[in-house]
Structure 1
């Protein structure tokens, strides 16, 4: 079934090095995963926050006047300052919303998929106007010789989806915004299907409906159209609030396996599974009857955001063993192992 690694979490905030004395690690979580040569690579989301100071509110943002530099915005606390801070992830100051941390990406390498060597400095940092609040939740999709990275870019104008590519995980080329605000949880299918590329994405809705997964098509991975509603939240306790895509879909002899996250009652996040037709990824033919992975242990229940398991990356080793790398409580990276047989057994034919 699902077997968690006994020494979870495998990566903790204290495993990340940082040279800025004004900042501290808020969390390391939601990694993308891929095979590269003889290694497994994780692209780690690392969130940094300003060290606390009595009587001051401090917010880190990227300095737009530099290729990458973090500056600290500061407000002295007083009665006339209007502050709402009911969520650890953001704060409203005088009617303007800021993130309490700024995220960037570190790279972790492993030969066994368990023990990782982490880069001493970030490999991908905010550098554009649409990223000044950070870059978040990457997914890695290997297509041909290139590795494409979709990620959430955040600024004072909302969150959108950026795209970058690399061939060596040393140099990254930014390809711009591919889905405008407010859209996130974007992942590509790793090959053309009937001559087209397909992607899953999650627009945010607030007036009517619930945040759902949509599917789109493209000729070049940059320009996306033919958008269709793909999957909506089911009215049950584990996904009635919202859903979103997870890691790169896996192609099997039965179709495309798609891991997705859901948020349900009490803001608990879980991971679920669907299966689509091989030659028609828009047609869902199977769905898990209950979550595949739910918060169970302390490191998944207690952290920056409680009761969260969130997967952006998995590795299939000849499908006999599937390694699931996931964020736990928005603070840690954890590892679970499963098999293709178990995943198929969890599906109900539609």
Structure 2
């Protein structure tokens, strides 16, 4: 297997023994929770864009840098903050893809009534231009619904390689959908929200309640598309448990699943994974190849930030997930 090879399934991943790698600090904009990170390799460093907020739960996106993928130095001020009506109470849950010299960041704009998937672009990860909501009339919770009438969209992972001259995005919380674009700014869903999604919740499985897009998708060694997704079950008492799975799709037929994991590849195990603002959550939004291994970055119970790694060819005495 060559360095950076992508196979399905990708893994197994081993959580870092010194998690969490980032925690809340001070009395600042990140004093309450630090979680749900995305990542990109810039030069010989890992850049981490993460969600953080104080006790007011108004989220901002922060930026941190690492030389080894584990130890991060944070910049003091957020790089993306609420400024528009659609995100006035939060810029949440970033995912980043780099195409050429431009970084494309999807995030959730939250106005305390509606969550809308938004897009911002940057040349340096610090200065961002907002392009507004991508699917202002789309409800990604269809077909199962979620007790609310009106638009709702979260979670967008952009494949950085063009497929037949168009770019592909998987998006959605509740169910997972696909969209295409010629310019990476304007996106068109491949199906309407009254038609079947790419992936809906699976009754009786670890994705019984909902599925949600994870990090940006990857092209496997045999030319297929690997998408890591988050998944949740809802318990009788109303609490949830978030884990993560993987699906495989064909680039020519991105609305059809070729294969999927039947068990999660990461799930809550540690104290931080099982205790927090929303307990029992491992929520993956960042995945990069750095030096000799894969790094998967995830939120721990909406409170702290962890990482798990997979080194191709390394033997494991016990598979994770």
Q: Normalized against structure 1, the TM-score is what?
A: 0.76
Counting only pairs closer than 5 Å after superposition, residues 214-253 of structure 1 correspond to structure 2 as: 214-228=177-191, 229-253=197-221
Provide the rounded CA distance (Å) in 2 between the counterparts of 1:194 and 1:216. Answer: 14
Runs of 4+ in 1 over 4 A off after TM superposition: 339-342
Q: Residue 260 of structure 1 corresponds to which residue in structure 2?
A: 229
User: How far off is 1:190 after superposition?
Assistant: 1.0
Q: Which runs of 5+ in 1 are unaligned?
A: 50-59, 61-100, 204-210
Q: Residue 47 of structure 2 corresponds to which residue in structure 1?
A: 41
Counting only pairs closer than 5 Å after superposition, residues 187-206 of structure 1 correspond to structure 2 as: 187-202=157-172
> Closer, same or farther in 2 for the Cα pair 1:35/1:24, shift >3 Å?
closer
User: How far off is 1:236 after superposition?
Assistant: 2.3
- C-alpha contact (below 8 Å) 1:130/1:157 kept by paired residues: no
For these two proteins, the number of residue pairs brought into alignment is: 280
2:22 paired with 1:11: yes
- C-alpha contact (below 8 Å) 2:175/2:200 kept by paired residues: yes
Provide the rounded CA distance (Å) in 2 between the counterparts of 1:283 and 1:212. Answer: 13
Q: Residue 175 of structure 2 corresponds to which residue in structure 1?
A: 212
Q: Residue 84 of structure 2 corresponds to which residue in structure 1?
A: 128
Q: Residue 262 of structure 2 corresponds to which residue in structure 1?
A: 289
Q: Residue 76 of structure 1 corresponds to which residue in structure 2?
A: none
- C-alpha contact (below 8 Å) 1:164/1:174 kept by paired residues: yes
Provide the rounded CA distance (Å) in 1 between the counterparts of 2:216 and 2:72. Answer: 21
Higher relative CO (CA 8 A, sep ≥ 6), structure 1 or 2?
A: 2
The alignment partner of 2:307 has SS state of: strand
User: How far off is 1:102 after superposition?
Assistant: 0.5
- C-alpha contact (below 8 Å) 2:61/2:81 kept by paired residues: yes
Match of 2:302 among 319, 325, 330: 330
Match of 1:104 among 50, 55, 60: 60
- C-alpha contact (below 8 Å) 2:274/2:281 kept by paired residues: yes
User: How far off is 1:284 after superposition?
Assistant: 2.2
Provide the rounded CA distance (Å) in 2 between the counterparts of 1:224 and 1:193. Answer: 14
Counting only pairs closer than 5 Å after superposition, residues 71-82 of structure 1 correspond to structure 2 as: none
